Chain A
């Protein structure tokens, strides 16, 4: 019974309720501004809430986290500039909708779907946390490696137009991710003996440059064109719309929870994988993907919000962070005199139920703040481009600097901005570059761990894959997806089913 009381702590104390609300509200804006990240906000809150009690401090942080993960979608839809890496996939179909004047509808669907995804994530956290964390622990280096390969195969669905250009972009991303001192051996890679390159290139800087600055440069082509007028009459999606996408959102939320619960992977990868999944299972979308398909919004947004609940699973059950934000929260719990670890759930179950309660509250606030104030937000896109473009550039600069307080990140950001501008013009997709950077370390580090563990023996390595059920399933998925992207497959499929396959 006490679990219910702890769960209701937030609702029974107006002060906590207020803090969660405040946090969520701030989080939406933190998430929406590229360069202001939830990670940053939460680590500043550690100092800010230092002298507070633990409940209010955690309430505020959870609010920011929930709101921030959702907020990234705002600028992705309105400006084609994802506010956070987990919103990259959202831009793919969200922005085309805004170009048609349907930004209001897109934001409405995104909000409701984030809410649903958030709830599923929290539900899994509350009911199956120990189960999922045991499962997450069974992932060996080779499984992480296979997961990374699975992620890299998403290049296929992220590159409309030319697949070869997409593959080039993805490989470039992996190379960018490898720049700097290798974290495992400290060998210098792609540094060309420049000290400035030793720290590597922050992937947030690459993202801001490629999406922010290059977008602003591209917009210079039609400064004088009037902005698209946004219809904001239909914001709350109809029940039938929600119902229609419910099966998909359940699937993509599960992807989100599991990827979120794995230490080392988070909402960004989850959202991209969910987008790919949606593209595979949606047989006949009302609109093509990349053209403003509703499914293209539903999938990443449910997944990244479900990943929040997922990230708390290893944190609460084992004291292992599920992502960067939960890592800082573990630090916050330390500072407030708790001992986050496997004993926390046994010694202080109240903390667990309190956090679940706070997450539920934050999720509700997210729905509330998400569906209100859209008018104000859509005004941003209706601002004259002459003001908007310079402001986007300035925000990109500050944002890139803020990631790691480093000027060299600003230079990289600007460089990739100009480079991305050319890539756009010559038909190279940008998504795979970011995908490559995100997955670079996951792939590289775990490949090396896996092969070192097997004493550099490929035979033993494959033996390991074949004898572990988890690895075998992942390996089969890799093969299947890879084959399904080759032209041979669509030909075969066409012959069998007598119609043209859906592959590109």
Chain B
């Protein structure tokens, strides 16, 4: 666009545009910032309110309290394990299918694809899925209830198929001449050159597992609670405390401290890794939308 002559109206438009977008950036970031500074404030002092831009009485009391909590530490371990195991298995499982159907010569290729795509529009819904996992597969109380139902995603498969189709045929053919079969080619050749798309899908999966709480509530049981589930339980019990009695007793102060520190701990990994990861997220949705 040429910037030679701007009318007054256009200058006003540009100024308003900048102001509004900066405001949007502020509104996006402020909740995170507010939670962080309040969590770093002395809990009894924070209950007085008025903490807006910086902590009034700096204190790590909230974190000390939370980090002694064994159920939280257990939840941290469970969440890390499910994120690692769930991501690795889902990426591999989805990639294997996607590589197979990216080959035009595969028998039944169309049928497999249709079977997959139908599930994007129709689903059994919550209750039949629950009955399958809890009563037919008996996965209640098992760590596998976090892994198996999330092994595959049609949306992610479509992104991968688009990527695999773009890999030059010559590479695979020369490997075939050397006597390699598809399993070797997939593992040694295709996966290594597909790092960008694998990273994208891995990130989608990792965020999903890290943020999950509902399946943990349905299938997990006491020892398999996840971080977000614990946070959810704290928030819902807090909401009732603060709704019932607005004169905050010591109990409510403690509950709020635990909530704030837990919120920071559960969200920090995503916020901190975000600057490095966000380009992959966007890449993924672009590949996906080109196809659609």
A and B held together in a complex: no
Interface residues of A (CB under 8 A from B): none
